[in-house]
Amino acid sequence: MSVKTILAIDDSRTIRQLVSQTLGDAGFSVTTAVDGADGVSTFQSNRFDAVITDINMPRLDGFGVIAAIRGGGANRKVPILVLTTESSPEFKDKARNLGATGWIVKPFEDRQLVDILKLVTGAEG
């Protein structure tokens, strides 16, 4: 069984560290990006099994990230999970309409995050 690779995009260093630690402990390989523009660039040069993105970020927000990945040439069907403090129906609808797979509200529970990623990536466990 191959290790599932996750791209975590968030402008908060604390969140990047939490996501990396949580998913790393669960057997995932995690790459982080510091904002949406960095995330899209990283996504285009590597192969990932899932993407986690914040919404409110400098340079390119999460909606822009989703649109860029879904409109790009490679790996357009990758699962994209939104990890954000935003929980309004308008935000969820906009993300879903752009092609987001799911929504997790911060602060997240470790187990929930791991379970959702196992589900969307087909990881065993």
pTM score, whole prediction:
0.95
For 41-84, how does the pLDDT look when each residue is reduced to its tens digit (9 = 90+)? 999 999 999 999 999 999 999 999 999 999 988 899 999 999 99
Confidence check: pLDDT of 124 > 80: no
User: CB count, 10 Å around CB of 123?
Assistant: 19
Given pLDDT bands bounded at 50, 70 and 90, which one contains residue 20?
A: very high
List Cα–Cα distances, 68 to 35, 37, 80, 89, in angstroms: 13, 10, 12, 22
Q: Domain ranges in the chain?
A: 5-121
Each residue of 44-66: b (16+ CB within 10 Å) or e? Answer: eeeebbbbbbbbebeebbbbbbb
Report pLDDT for 81. Answer: 97
Per DSSP, the three-state class of 118 is: helix
Please state the rounded mean pLDDT for residues 84-99: 94
Q: What angle do CA 69, 48, 17 make, to 5 degrees?
A: 100
Question: CB-based contacts of 113: which residues, under 8 Å, 6+ apart?
Answer: 19, 22, 23, 83, 104
CA dihedral 91→92→93→96, nearest 10 degrees, is: 120
Q: How confident is the model at residue 1 (pLDDT cuts 50, 70, 90)?
A: low
Q: Give domain 5-121's CATH superfamily.
A: Response regulator (3.40.50.2300)
Amino acid at 5: T
Band of the pLDDT at 2, cuts 50, 70, 90?
confident
